Amino acid sequence: MSALAQATVYGLLQGGLLAMIAVGFSLVWGVMNVINLAHGGYVLLGAYIAWELHAAWGLDPLIGAVTGGLVMFGVGYVVQRLLVNQIVNAPIFLTLLLTFGLQLVLVQGMAVVFSADYRSIATPYASQAFTLQSFGLADVRVPYGRLLAFVVAVLATAALVVFTQRSRTGLAILATGMDRTAARLMGINARHVYALTAGIAAALAGAAGALVGLVGTFSPPDAARFTLLSFVISVLGGLGNMYGALLGGLVLGVVQAWAGQYLPGTWVNAVAFAVLVGVLIVRPAGLAGRAFYEARVEAT
């Protein structure tokens, strides 16, 4: 019983972080129908920025997360404006290829600069933990680092939801996602809005990368795993549905933690993909509702 509770707690905490990584990916996919295969690379760039700040000046990973987020916002904006915008209307495998090429450049570039060694950002508090004694679960540990990462991740995801649904810029993003032609006729600069969307996604990914460094280890080849997990979560949640991404992240985190607890070997990875393919076949619009991009009016 307590093993199950521990796995569930751990899965939820991990799931919040995964949701933060995936929510930007889902937003980009939903608004501009682009799958950014370099998304995992953005996560790791953020992680390395935070790691460098910590190694050089001993800055806390939370400050690293803010810095990494700001830097990655710029990177995401420029990449979208200069590269991805050039082929937004092309058949999908061209955007997939472009971002895959970018992913190769990022991952290999990081491997050359930082080496392929596993790194982590050591803080005095990350491995400290309290137990859920007051809930009658005395042997369920909750590490402060993971709890902090979870809280920050959920707050950031919630902030993105409020931003897109309440602010003028956020509404412009949603409007462009629904009908680009109409949005442009209303005076929205679609090129800028697309770049802004990609920048926000990259910023969240970069900040989440710093939190990944806070709670565990990372190395350049991890990028592909973060991209794949973002896929799974976006599909689980329904594209462009940001609450859905949060839900999908938590579900995937818990499912993976349970699989890790009860299945031998590396079956845990197979479970994630089985969930993905199963959801696609049974409920392609995601657990939380309808797909965003599918519903848009396509006018050219």
Partner 1 sequence: MSRSAVAWGLAGAVVLVGMIVLPSQLYTGQVRVVTAVLMFVALAQAWNIIGGLTGYACFGQVAFFGIGGYATAVLMEHANWSFWAALPVAALGCAAFAALIGLPLLRLRGHYFAIATLGVAEGMREVVTNLGRLTGGGAGITVPTVGGRGTAWLGNDGFYLLFLVLAALAVAVAALIGRSRFGYGLRAINQDEDAAAAAGVNTTRAKVLALTISAALTALVGSAYAFQQVTIYPQRLFDVDITVIMIVMVVIGGAGTVLGPLVGAVGLQFVSEYLRQHYPQEHILVLGAVIMIVVLLFPSGLTGVATRSGMLATIRAYRL
Out of 276, 288, 292, 296, point to the residue binding partner 1 (CB under 8 A).
276
Report phi then psi at 160, rounded to 5: -65, -40
Q: Which stretch binds partner 1 (CB under 8 A): 131-139, 209-217, 242-250, 259-267?
A: 259-267
Which CB atom, from 38 or from 47, has the smaller least distance to partner 1? 38
- How far apart are the C-alpha atoms of 117 and 119, rounded to whole Å? 6
Buried b (16+ CB within 10 A) or exposed e, 37-74: bbbbbbbbbbbbbbbbbbeeeebbbbebbbbbbebbbe
Does 135 bind partner 1 (CB under 8 A)? Our answer is no
Closest distance of CB 14 from partner 1, Å: 19
The pairing of strands 129-132 and 137-143 is: antiparallel
Would you say 137 or 224 has its CB closer to partner 1? 224
User: Any contact of residue 295 with partner 1 (CB under 8 A)?
Assistant: no
Pick 90 or 159: Cβ nearer partner 1: 90
Q: Which of residues 198-257 bind partner 1 (CB under 8 A)?
A: 224, 228, 231-232, 235
Q: Are 202 and 42 in contact (CB under 8 A)?
A: yes
Q: Are 129 and 143 in contact (CB under 8 A)?
A: yes
Q: How far is the CB of 4 from partner 1 (least distance, A)?
A: 23
Query: Percent helix, strand and coil across the chain, each rounded to 5?
Result: 75, 5, 20
Q: Using CB under 8 A as the criterion, what x/- string covers residues 30-49 for binding partner 1?
A: ---x-x--------------
> Which of 125, 167, 191, 295 forms a contact with partner 1 (CB under 8 A)?
191
Q: Is 141 helix (H, G, I), strand (E, B) or coil?
A: strand
Cα distances (angstroms) measured from residue 96 to each of 92, 218, 297: 6, 24, 23
Residue recorded with tokens 């979870």: 150
Alpha carbons 184 and 300: distance in angstroms, whole number? 12
What minimum distance in Å lies between the beta carbon of 273 and partner 1?
4
Q: For 142, phi and psi rounded to 5 degrees?
A: -125, 100
Residue 97 sits in the site that holds partner 1 (CB under 8 A): yes
CB of 82 to partner 1, least distance (A): 10
Nearest to 11 by CA among 218, 287, 283, 262: 262
H-state helical runs in 83-143: 92-114
Single out the residue of 56, 57, 93, 136 in contact with partner 1 (rule: CB under 8 A).
93
**Segment interacting with partner 1, rule: CB under 8 A, options 5-13, 79-87, 137-145, 249-257:** 79-87
Rounded CA separation 51/54 (Å)? 5
Residue from 190, 216, 258, 260 binding partner 1 (CB under 8 A): 190
Q: State the minimum distance, in angstroms, from the CB of residue 67 to partner 1.
A: 25
Binding residues (CB under 8 A) for partner 1: these are 29, 33, 35, 83, 85-94, 96-98, 100-105, 108-109, 112, 190-191, 194, 224, 228, 231-232, 235, 264-267, 269-270, 273-274, 276-277, 280-281, 284
